[in-house]
Amino acid sequence: MENTVAAYAAQSETAPLAPFSITRRVPGSEDVELEILFCGVCHTDIHFARGEWGNSVYPMVPGHEIVGVVSAVGSEVSKFKVGDNVGVGCIVDSCRSCANCAEGEEQYCAGGTFTYNSPEKDGGVTFGGYSKKIVVDQNYVVSIPDGLPLDAAAPLLCAGITTYSPLRHFGVKTGTKVAVMGLGGLGHMGVKLAKAMGAHVTVLSHSAGKRTDAMALGADDFIATNDPEVFNTHAGQFELILNTVSAAHDLHGYLGLLKRDGRMVLLGIPEPSPLAAFPLVMQRRSLSGSLIGGIRETQEMLDFCGEHGITAEIEVIPMSGINEAYERMMKSDVRYRFVIDMATL
């Protein structure tokens, strides 16, 4: 017997999202069932719903910034109990035996299962958080620390961990000169987290009007990149740039902002994707990528946010407002994460 669950789905690349009904499995012995309270809206949801990466499967139920309350647990579940506040991010399963899994880097597992648009082990395709309920193995569920508001904590499950992981991996500490490119969902979390790690943080934005917000989020400096002169006046300043830009752009000028041996981490995945050899070669700069973060590190990030009182800046929307939210994100008009109130579905 399966559960029928209300959801919102895209039926094609061009169709607006609309009400849809899905089935969730009855919780197995290791499964946790969540009643979803809030789901953040990631730009990845737009790339997938609109088929921008060429691998979309329809109907598609996006959403991987899921916060909910545990409504049922299987007989072998030890980590959670009914009533707990929990989160599910971008990964709901992995092979559990490869080197990536053994090292807690499940996001890089070749046999991993993403929260939506991903083949299920038992056939079918996964459906994400724009829905009333989800059933997930307990090993891929994380705890939301007490004291964090549940709506503003939802974006931590993707935007938070995606920026936290490279900041940690590349050793950001007190005084590290970090720049964050693009002040959207990922970018604004990058600013807050880098600041909490003690970094000196600069925002690089193509929206000059975001200066006041950037400073209020804790940035030390703001550079409006629509003035090409800034690429000369600020050349060679940063040790690490987190690139969260969701649209095609030229990297040359931005790479020149790095110090010798500086590194840009690509987090945004626009299509077409940018590459630029010259500024890398001339100063031994590196360009890296990074994919979300593993389950252990996601819990570590949530605990860090609990200690530091860090959540996202959000605008709560009803489920029916999702198509308008996508349009506003395409215009870089999100301050700074839309979160769907699932009680409205």
Instruction: Name the site residues for Zn ion (rule: CB under 5 A).
Output: 42, 44, 94-95, 98, 101, 109, 158
Q: 40 and 337 in contact (C-beta within 8 Å)?
A: yes
Q: Which is nearer to ligand NAP, 30 or 221 (CB)?
A: 221
Q: Which residues bind ligand NAP (CB under 6 A)?
A: 42-44, 47, 158-159, 162, 182-187, 205-207, 210, 244-247, 249, 267-270, 290-292, 329, 332, 334
Give the number of C-alpha atoms closer than 13 A to the C-alpha of residue 61, restricted to the C-beta side.
25
> What DSSP designation does 139 have?
G
Q: 85 and 67 in contact (C-beta within 8 Å)?
A: yes
Q: Which is nearer to Zn ion, 256 or 268 (CB)?
A: 268
| Smallest gap from residue 30 Cβ to ligand NAP (A) | 26
Spatial distance between the Cα atoms of 67 and 305, rounded to a whole number of angstroms: 15
7 touches, from Zn ion, ligand NAP, none (C-beta below 5 to 8 Å by class): none
Token digits of residue 136: 């997930």
Token digits of residue 340: 């769907």
Q: Which is nearer to Zn ion, 211 or 328 (CB)?
A: 328
> Taking CA 340 as the corner, what is the angle to CA 338 and CA 343, rounded to the nearest 5 degrees?
160
| Smallest gap from residue 340 Cβ to ligand NAP (A) | 14
192 touches, from Zn ion, ligand NAP, none (C-beta below 5 to 8 Å by class): none
94 touches, from ligand NAP, Zn ion, none (C-beta below 5 to 8 Å by class): Zn ion
267 touches, from Zn ion, ligand NAP, none (C-beta below 5 to 8 Å by class): ligand NAP
98 touches, from ligand NAP, Zn ion, none (C-beta below 5 to 8 Å by class): Zn ion
Count of CB atoms situated within 10 Å of the CB of 59:
16
Reported as type and span, the H/E element at residue 102 is helix 99-102
| Smallest gap from residue 117 Cβ to ligand NAP (A) | 13
Q: 34 and 157 in contact (C-beta within 8 Å)?
A: no
| Smallest gap from residue 339 Cβ to Zn ion (A) | 13
